[in-house]
């Protein structure tokens, strides 16, 4: 993967843009945009201290928000144009949501809901405490 850009959001979070494109054949490329952002958990993101502690026990101090968008079988000559299009679409559609002040809180709460809904996946980590 090739690092393309780092975007510092108003919340102080750093969003990293990666190009994970790769050639499929001599004249064909799979174009892949990968966005990653580490989101730290904070006690004030949760409704109860137990929710915060449970989330930290399962995921640690932070977890990674990840977005992927790909197009397969792109003519290699069109790779850069298609990647730029995927990135522009992301910036137009998703970036405003990620830049909102309450995104870290919403992300943290979604991780807690994931633990509750899929408790069997995290059973070992939950019982060890």
Residues 53-112 have pLDDT tens digits of: 999 999 999 999 999 999 999 999 999 999 999 999 999 999 999 999 999 999 999 999
Residues 16-39 have pLDDT tens digits of: 999 999 999 999 999 999 999 999
Q: How many residues does the chain have?
A: 129
| pTM confidence score | 0.90
Looking at residue 23, its pLDDT comes to 96
What residues contact residue 55 under an 8 Å CB cut-off, 6+ apart? 41, 46, 108, 111, 112, 115
């Amino acid at each position: 993967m090739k690092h393309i850009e780092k975007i510092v959001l108003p919340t102080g979070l750093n969003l990293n843009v990666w190009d994970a494109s790769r050639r499929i054949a001599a004249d064909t490329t799979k174009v892949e945009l990968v966005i990653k952002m580490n989101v730290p958990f904070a006690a004030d993101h949760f409704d109860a201290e137990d929710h915060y502690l449970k989330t930290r026990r399962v995921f640690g101090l932070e977890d990674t928000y990840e977005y992927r968008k790909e197009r397969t079988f792109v003519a290699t000559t069109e790779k850069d144009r298609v990647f730029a299009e995927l990135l522009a679409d992301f910036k137009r559609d998703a970036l405003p949501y990620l830049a909102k002040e309450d995104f870290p809180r919403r992300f943290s709460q979604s991780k807690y809901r994931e633990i509750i809904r899929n408790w069997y996946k995290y059973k070992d980590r939950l019982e060890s405490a």
